[in-house]
Structure formats: C-alpha cells, structure tokens
C-alpha cells in the first residue's frame, strides 16, 4: 500500500482544488485519454465564480473535437494566461481569444512537447533538439508564437553544440496534472485497460509530483487494492493525489466517435482487409504516383492524416506492395489498421502500443523509412505550410518531427484548390474546372516544413500533385514530371506563383497511373520525355 493517502472525489470537487495561476500539464489526443468531465467542471466553476483564472496549459497533442470538447472548454476570457500546445485545429473556440490576445499562445512540435514532461520530471531547465530548425518554431522565424501577447516571452532559443545549431525549449514546472485512466485501485494505482493510448501520462504525473504539485486522474471505476497486475499499472499510486470517478460513460469514450471498441486494445482479432476499390480520379492519380517512391527496403511507414496519404495506403495494398509494411502513428501504435477521422490515433489490433514520447524518440532518430503527408501550401524554396491559414490556426502536430527526421518524405495534394474539378479520360488528365486558389505560392504563410533545412540534411523530398511532380534540390524545387494531357505552360507554370527549376530530363508521369488496371508490383518511374517548347531549352 502507498504511504500517501489518495483522495477519491468528484469532478466538481476537483475543480475547486485548481488554484488561480496554476500551471497545468494536460493529457489527451483528440478525444482519447481526455479528462473531459474535469475540464467541464473547471469551466463551470469559472463561469460561476470567476475561478480558477489565469491558467497556464501545456499539452502535447490536439485535444478536442473541433466543437465543444477538450480545450474548447477553456475558451473563456480571463480563464487563461498561456497555452503551449502541439496542435490547435481541434479547438476553434480558442481562436478568437488568440486573435484578441486574451492569453499568450504558442505552438511547438508535438514530439517536443510529449518529451518535455520527462524533462520537467527530471528538473531539466531546457530541452535541446534540432526539431523545428528553419520552421516557424525557430526563434529566427516566429519562435512558435501565435499572437502578439506571446511576444512578451521567448520560450525557445538557439544554441550551438559542436558547431551545429540546436533549439533550446524552455521546460515548464507544472503544479497540476490532469489525466485520465481506466481503473484506479484503492491506493490510487492507475491502469489504462480500455484506453487505446497511454501517451505521456506517466511523465506528466511525475512532472507535477516532482514539482510539488497535485495529480488528478479521472477514471471509469475504482477497484480493490491488489487486484491489478504490477506491469499493468502505468501511474503508480505514489504519484496520484486525487482520483475522480465518473458515472457518465460519455466522459470515458475511447475517441471522439467511439464509446468502446475492444479491437483498439486487443491484438487477438482479425484485421479487416478494408475496401481497396478507389475510383480513377485525381486522388487515385496522386496516391499512385506517390506510392511509386516507396522502395522495397522501406518497411516502416507513416501516413499523415488526410485523404491523399490515406489513399496511398490503399494503393500499396491493392498493388501487393504492403505485405512487409509496418505502419506507425505518432501517439504510439505500431501495426494494425490505423483509423482516421474522429478515431485518428487509434488502431484496430495494433501489434504494439507504446508511450508517445518513445514513439517520437523513434521518429526523431530516423526510425521511419518513408512518410506520406499532405500538401496544403508549397513555395519556391520547397517550404510547406500545413499549420496556419489566415485566422485559422491548425498547428503543427507531429508534422515537424516526422518531416524533419525521415529519410524520404512524399507530400501529396492537388495543384490548386477551391472548386477544382478534374477527370481522367482516355489515359490522360483533364481539367474540367480550374481551382480558384494557387497552392504553389512564392512564400508560404507559415513554414511548417523547411525545404532548405531538408536539402542541407540530404533528405529525399518529393511533392506529388495530380498534374506535376517536383523534387527538392539545393537550388529549390525542380519539376521532374507532368501528367499526360497537361500543357506545361497553361496548366502548370501559369497556375504557380513562381517559376520552378525544370529538369532537363522532364518526363510524363507513368501512363499506367491513368489506366484502370493495377500497375503491378514493378512501380517504375517511366515514360517518354516531354517535348519542351524551344524557348525553355
């Protein structure tokens, strides 16, 4: 039995114990592992009493449902003084407060923040990392600051070690941890039996405890002491101060859309094959061409969220090129069938689920062979923006960690956006209605991926659209292929805000991409040379 006495309380009582000006380490990934009932009680107390106020929140992943859950609960003027988050797109209710400078807002890479609680537990003053160099997180660019209020404090600086640049991230000292598990025993030991992820819960509990703070854990049920297997306990009772048992099952959902699916926590299920019937359209064209960049030796793969990366997965399966592939998802799953939408982060029958900080150790060390990610905005230097579009704050999530440390990265997306309609006719791409907005711009609005840093690191970087394929070079991006049916000038160069380098060996994309039959396992990057206009020679 623990030497310390754990108290068992309800969420309203827990909210009463959160002091003004608290620094809170908050756990969650979308709707998984989120102490939703506690967050609602904190907001209710603030609305009723004006307390707790001026809270500082640190969270590694996006926490919310894009509507009212998660950190959306905290969207009240005066409730916050600072948020440092890895992803913001799921908390739109916070955006007006960020724009109004009601609190300091920062966006740091998800991997950095998932690991920063370990540093806090060990009382390390900074986290030293190369993740974020050259991006908006770099203090030479924006320093991860999302509004003018954040300009009052620098939370990341630059330093050199052995002649190389590194970023030094300030480490928080949380005095409150808000977590969620499945079961607590009478000594406060916590297990995660029904949770699809464990994230950085152990690190957060240790960080708050070692900084003299209080640890709150919301659970489904309290069980007898001694009924848990020691290796199943993820948070020792020694670290837990308060257990909040909830009777409302909607507060214990595995994800934003799933109450409970045993397949997310068990391996003894048959993995669904899933439908691999994809119509021959622009999405399939993009996915097929992107899939060609996967080599036989690329066995560990990351697919970003979104329809284009997810379709690459289907294409590889259809072509018989996925037998030896193990997929990973940043919150901690290896293998299985990764889920999308509101279940993103979960996987059916995962081979293993580890803590998120360790997954990012794996990523940061180059553990992924190839990654397929989205392309929202691309500029002349090969920079990518997926994190900010006008007043909308999406945030980086794990994008910076993945793209900066993976040997081969393939960005996927359409060439233009806004009303774009295309079709594939007789083996050629046809533009039925051009998009209103150019995605290939002179300079991206925010640098989430740095082309120059990737070129310096000698990564293999490709940008695949339905009508053109580009490769990153030390001089910028180079056009290496165009789709059959496309005019180089009117359909490609005129739809860009800058002139790319053009390969002297410019080719048509493989014609098999634009045909109904399977392409076959030999995914050659073949076909005849494009006849360039004389003025371009």
Work out the number of other CB atoms within 10 angstroms of the CB of residue 358. 15
Residue 166, domain member (yes or no): no
pLDDT of 115 strictly over 70: yes
Q: Mean pLDDT of all residues in the chain?
A: 94
Residues 80 and 227 in one domain: yes
Q: What pLDDT does residue 1 have?
A: 45
Per-residue confidence (pLDDT) for residue 136, from 0 to 100: 98
pLDDT in tens, 233-286: 999 999 999 999 998 999 999 999 999 999 999 877 766 665 567 899 999 999
Phi, psi angle pair for 183, to nearest 5°: -125, 150
Are both 223 and 294 inside the same structural domain? no
Element (H, E) at 96: helix 95-99
Question: Alpha-carbon distance 287 to 306, whole Å?
Answer: 12
Asked if the structure places residue 150 within a domain, the reply is: no
Q: Are residues 226 and 290 in the same domain?
A: no
Residue 414 has pLDDT above 70, yes or no: yes
Identify whether 305 is part of a domain. Answer: yes
pLDDT of 12 strictly over 70:
yes
Catalytic residue among 27, 56, 310, 330: 330
Distance CA 409, CA 428 (A): 26
**Residue recorded with tokens 């994008």:** 399
Cα–Cα dist 166/161, whole Å: 7
Shared domain check, 240 and 321: no
pLDDT 10s digits, 143-172: 999 999 999 999 999 999 999 999 999 999
Residues 87 and 21 in one domain: yes
- How big is the CA angle at 95 (ends 92 and 98), to the nearest 5 degrees? 155
Both tokens of residue 45? 């107390």
Report the pLDDT value the prediction gives residue 537, as an integer from 0 to 100.
43
Tell me: do 371 and 302 sit in the same domain.
yes
Of the residues 223, 244, 265, which one is the last residue of a structural domain?
Answer: 244
In a domain, 361, yes or no: yes
Q: Would you say residue 168 lies in a domain? A: no
Split into its structural domains, the chain has a count of 2
Check pLDDT > 90 for residue 135.
yes
Q: What per-residue confidence (pLDDT) applies to 520?
A: 78
Task: Evaluate if residue 530 carries a pLDDT over 90.
Answer: no
C-alpha angle 454-456-459 in degrees, rounded to nearest 5:
45
Q: Model pTM? A: 0.94
DSSP 42: H
Question: At 237, which CATH number?
Answer: 3.40.1080.10
One domain for residues 221 and 358? no
Average pLDDT over residues 26-55: 99
Judge whether residue 3 has pLDDT over 90: no
Rounded average pLDDT over 11-31:
99
pLDDT above 50 (res 523): yes
**Would you say residue 101 has pLDDT above 70?**
yes
For 365, the domain range is 282-536
> Within this chain, do residues 406 and 287 fall inside the same structural domain, yes or no?
yes
How big is the chain by its Cα radius of gyration, in Å?
24
pLDDT of residue 278: 86
pLDDT in tens, 309-344: 989 988 998 888 888 899 999 999 999 989 988 999
Rounded alpha-carbon distances, angstroms, from residue 175 to 1, 126, 178, 208, 322: 25, 18, 10, 5, 46
Q: How many CB atoms lie within 10 A of CB 36?
A: 25
- Give tens-digit pLDDT for 421-454: 999 999 999 999 999 999 999 999 999 999 999 9
Condensed to tens digits (0 to 9), the pLDDT of residues 274-307 reads 556 789 999 999 999 999 999 999 999 999 888 8
* Shared domain check, 350 and 238: no
Phi and psi at residue 432, in whole multiples of 5°?
Answer: -85, -35
Q: Is residue 149 part of a domain?
A: no
Last residue of a domain, one of 217, 244, 271: 244
Residues 218 and 327 reside in one and the same domain: no
Domain boundary among 225, 244, 263: 244
Question: What's the confidence (pLDDT) of residue 322?
Answer: 86
The pLDDT of residue 297:
94
Give the pLDDT score at 307: 87
- Say if residue 2's pLDDT is above 80: no
Kindly state whether residues 240 and 292 are assigned to the same domain.
no
Query: Please, are residues 218 and 38 in contact by the beta-carbon 8 Å criterion?
Result: yes
Is the distance from CB of 85 to CB of 147 less than 8 angstroms? no
508 and 366 within one domain: yes
Q: Worst-scoring range by mean pLDDT, 106-110, 215-219, 234-238, 513-517?
A: 513-517
Is residue 527's pLDDT more than 90? no
157, part of any domain: no
Residue 481 annotated as catalytic: no
Q: Is residue 138 assigned to a domain?
A: no
């Amino acid at each position: 039995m623990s030497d310390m006495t754990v108290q068992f309380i309800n969420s309203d009582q827990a909210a009463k114990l959160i002091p003004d000006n608290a620094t809170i380490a908050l756990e969650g990934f979308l709707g998984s592992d989120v102490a939703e009932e506690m967050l609602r009680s904190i907001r209710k107390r603030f609305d009723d009493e004006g307390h707790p106020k001026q809270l500082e929140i640190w969270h590694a992943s996006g926490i919310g449902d894009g509507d009212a859950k998660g950190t959306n609960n905290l969207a009240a003027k005066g409730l916050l003084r600072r948020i440092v988050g890895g992803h913001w797109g799921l908390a739109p209710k916070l955006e007006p407060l960020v724009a109004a400078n009601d609190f300091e807002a920062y966006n740091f890479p998800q991997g950095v923040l998932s690991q920063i609680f370990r540093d806090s537990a060990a009382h390390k003053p900074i986290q030293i990392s190369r993740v974020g160099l050259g991006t908006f997180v770099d203090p030479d660019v924006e320093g991860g600051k999302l509004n003018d209020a954040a300009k009052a404090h620098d939370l990341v600086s630059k330093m050199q070690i052995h002649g190389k640049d590194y970023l030094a991230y300030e480490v928080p000292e949380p005095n409150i941890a808000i977590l969620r598990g499945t079961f607590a025993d009478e000594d406060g030991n916590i297990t995660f039996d029904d949770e699809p992820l464990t994230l950085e819960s152990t690190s957060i509990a240790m960080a708050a405890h070692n900084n003299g703070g209080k640890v709150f854990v919301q659970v489904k049920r309290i069980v007898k002491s001694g009924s848990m297997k020691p290796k199943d306990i993820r948070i020792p009772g020694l670290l837990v101060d308060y257990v909040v048992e909830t009777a409302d099952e909607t507060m214990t959902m595995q994800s934003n859309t799933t109450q409970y699916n045993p397949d997310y926590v068990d391996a003894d299920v048959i993995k669904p094959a899933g439908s691999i019937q994809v119509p021959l359209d622009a999405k399939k064209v993009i996915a097929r061409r992107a899939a060609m960049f996967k080599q036989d030796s690329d066995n560990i793969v990351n697919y970003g969220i979104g329809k284009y990366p997810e379709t690459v997965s289907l294409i590889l399966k259809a072509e018989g090129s996925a037998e030896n592939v193990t997929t990973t998802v940043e919150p901690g799953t290896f293998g299985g069938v990764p889920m999308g939408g509101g279940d993103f982060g979960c996987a059916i029958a995962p081979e293993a689920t580890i803590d998120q900080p360790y997954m990012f150790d794996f990523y940061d060390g180059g553990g992924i062979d190839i990654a397929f990610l989205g392309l929202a905005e691309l500029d002349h230097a090969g920079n990518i923006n997926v994190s900010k579009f006008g007043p909308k704050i999406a945030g980086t999530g794990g994008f910076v960690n993945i793209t900066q440390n993976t040997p081969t990265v393939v960005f996927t997306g359409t060439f233009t956006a806004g009303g774009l309609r295309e079709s594939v006719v007789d083996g050629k791409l046809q533009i039925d209605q051009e998009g209103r907005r150019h995605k290939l711009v002179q300079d991206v609005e925010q640098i989430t991926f740095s082309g120059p840093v990737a070129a310096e690191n000698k990564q293999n970087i490709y940008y695949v659209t339905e009508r053109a394929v580009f490769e990153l070079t030390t001089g910028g991006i180079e056009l290496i292929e165009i789709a059959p049916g496309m005019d180089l000038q009117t359909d490609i160069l005129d739809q860009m805000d800058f002139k790319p380098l053009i390969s002297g060996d410019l080719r048509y994309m493989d014609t098999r991409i634009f045909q109904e039959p399977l392409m076959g396992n030999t995914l050659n990057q073949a076909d005849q040379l494009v006849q360039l206009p004389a003025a371009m020679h």
